[in-house]
Amino acid sequence: MEQRIKEILAEELSVDIEEIKLETSLKDDLNADSIDMMQVVDVLEQEFGVEVDTSELAKILTVADIVNYIGSHK
């Protein structure tokens, strides 16, 4: 799951997958803005069959946060 999330982030945010680590900040390191995050969330929801509550987005700051969120909502 972690690898697939990294692949999605790399593809959606046009960054090298090698730059993406668990501690990577979505905003500071990957320059993801709110529109980027909505696109990423849409793909993650389809890929993993989870629904991400938009009020939870403010709490998702790193790649690890995404992994933990999806893991706990699957």
- The whole-model pTM stands at 0.92
pLDDT in tens, the chain (74 residues): 999 999 999 999 999 999 999 999 999 999 999 999 999 999 999 999 999 988 888 899 999 999 999 999 98
Residues tagged active-site: 33
Residue 10 exposure: Cα atoms within 13 Å on the Cβ side: 12
Partners of residue 62 on adjacent β-strands: 25
What pLDDT was estimated at residue 57?
A: 86
What pLDDT was estimated at residue 43?
A: 97
Distance CA 22, CA 1 (A): 12
In the CATH hierarchy, which fold is given to the domain comprising 2-73? Answer: 1.10.1200
What pLDDT was estimated at residue 56?
A: 87
What pLDDT was estimated at residue 74?
A: 82
